[in-house]
Amino acid sequence: MRDLLALHAVTLDALRSRKVVRSANVVGDYAEWLFARAFGWTLASPSEKSHDALDAAGVRYQVKARRDSGKSGADQLGILRNLSDDGFDALAAVIFNADFSVRFAGLLPRALIAERAVYSDYQRGHILTLSRALLADARVRDVTQELRSAG
């Protein structure tokens, strides 16, 4: 068991040295890196709470990701905090398969998130699930191929 944990530590160190991950949140960091690489975005400082990246036009993106580990709720993204604070303009979302290949990636306008996300008192934030109905919305830009190519 210790051998596997040591291998995990070596892997994290290698990902950090390549600037793919910046924290212990490998799924989120990898998603941010992929979007930035695919679209030429600039990653925000890790201490920035409202958005994760900026594009050349100044559009602020919050990046959310989920890795499907085979458990239920695989398409529910992480909690969106302070949705009403106008801290980001669009959501960049990706669902990874268990092997970190991209299942789906999309860009969603903040207005759509405000319509569809549900507030949770327990989580103190909004919950968004990438349902079939949400993905079919004409305002969602499917960027699955761009992210697959960036990886």
Domains, the chain, ordered by start: 25-150 (3.40.210)
DSSP state of 42: E
pLDDT at site 36: 97
Between 29 and 7, the higher pLDDT residue: 29
Type of residue at 101: S
Angle in degrees, CA 125, 39, 43, rounded to 5 = 55
Average pLDDT, the chain: 89
pLDDT at 73 over 70: no
pLDDT of residue 33: 96
Q: Among 78, 82, 37, which Cα is nearest to 55's?
A: 37
